[in-house]
Amino acid sequence: SIFTLVHVIAKDVFDANRWDILSLQCLTAGLAVLYVHSAHQGFYWYNSGVHYTAMHSFLILLTACLIRILTSKSTYEKSVLMVAAILLGVVIGGANYVTALQCGLVMASLVAIAIILKRKSVLFFIPSIAAYGISFYYSIIAPGNNVRAACFWYVEKSVPKAIIGSFTEAVKLCKE
């Protein structure tokens, strides 16, 4: 998925040649492995955290599809990519909250960029955004969430406080 996203950005956005793209793909994949927080963490998450890793890969593929929709001149290609984006949006919306929330941010950012660039092809995003939103909504209201929440009765944070707290923690970790 990293190779796909780098290819779409390098080729479709920056019009790079094959060897530059391959170099960037290898560099990006290498950096992703090199900058794992710790070897123990990397082993744990890449072996037992498949749900997060796979969903993150789907998010990367969705991002590549949406960027390609914005750069493609072919209506047929945009339509095919839109169908792929719908399917990926459904899967990601029903996945873990971390990836689902990131997906919302990615989609909102790409919509904003498309509006700034005055790209009418942003209209091809609407079905995938709707599919993602519906899937995420059903994920949020799933009965299992209340069962899990009952296990954490001692945590007194509301949802907005928890989300704000997660951004605060992320900033702290970035400073390390």
In tens digits, the chain (176 residues) has pLDDT values of 788 889 999 998 899 999 999 999 899 888 877 777 777 776 666 655 667 778 888 999 999 999 999 999 999 999 999 999 999 999 999 988 888 999 999 999 999 999 999 999 999 999 999 999 999 999 988 888 777 777 766 666 677 777 787 788 888 888 77
Query: Are the CB atoms for 4 and 60 separated by under 8 Å?
Result: yes
Q: At what angle do helices 50-71 and 39-48 cross, to 10 degrees?
A: 80
Query: Are the CB atoms for 62 and 100 separated by under 8 Å?
Result: no
Please give the pLDDT value at position 157.
65
Please give the pLDDT value at position 155.
67
Please give the pLDDT value at position 68.
95
Please give the pLDDT value at position 96.
85
Please give the pLDDT value at position 50.
63
Tokens 């995003």 -> residue: 125
Any residues with CB less than 8 A from the CB of 13 and at least 6 apart, and which? Answer: 67, 71
Query: Are the CB atoms for 46 and 61 separated by under 8 Å?
Result: no
Phi/psi-derived region of residue 145, left when phi > 0, alpha when psi is between -120 and 50, beta in every other case: alpha
What counts of helices (H) and strands (E) characterise the chain? 9, 0
Any residues with CB less than 8 A from the CB of 66 and at least 6 apart, and which? Answer: 81, 85, 106, 107, 110, 125, 128
Q: What is the pTM of this model?
A: 0.71
